[in-house]
Amino acid sequence: MNVPAAWYLVLAAVLFGIGAYGLLTRRSAIIMFMCVELMLNAVNLTFVTFARTLSDIGGQASVFFVMVVAAAEVTVGLGIVVAVFRRRHSTSVDELTEMKG
């Protein structure tokens, strides 16, 4: 018998927390993108766990689409990082203050 779904759900929650903490505290835009990937993977793990527990393939299909969106997000996001770096020679999010209200 496989380990209970609760173990995987707690693991996913911990992974999500680590990613969220990194997103809130790190300054480099690239590291922040990596933390977003961590959070997305935590959610994917939750989806797969529920798909296994409820015997529903829809959870795995959702993970498939999350992966596609994550790939698109990384492509555009890193493109923005490159464009910003060309102008500012920095990837620190603290220095992007033009839109300060």
- The least distance separating other proteins from the CB of residue 14, rounded to whole angstroms, comes to 7
Q: Which residue has the tokens 């690239």?
A: 30
List Cβ neighbours of 8 (8 Å cut-off, separation of 6 or more).
45, 46, 48, 49
- The least distance separating other proteins from the CB of residue 99, rounded to whole angstroms, comes to 17
Closer CB to other proteins, residue 80 or residue 101?
Answer: 80
Closer CB to other proteins, residue 64 or residue 99?
Answer: 64
* Direct distance between the N- and C-terminal alpha carbons of the chain, in angstroms, rounded to an integer: 56
- The least distance separating other proteins from the CB of residue 10, rounded to whole angstroms, comes to 6
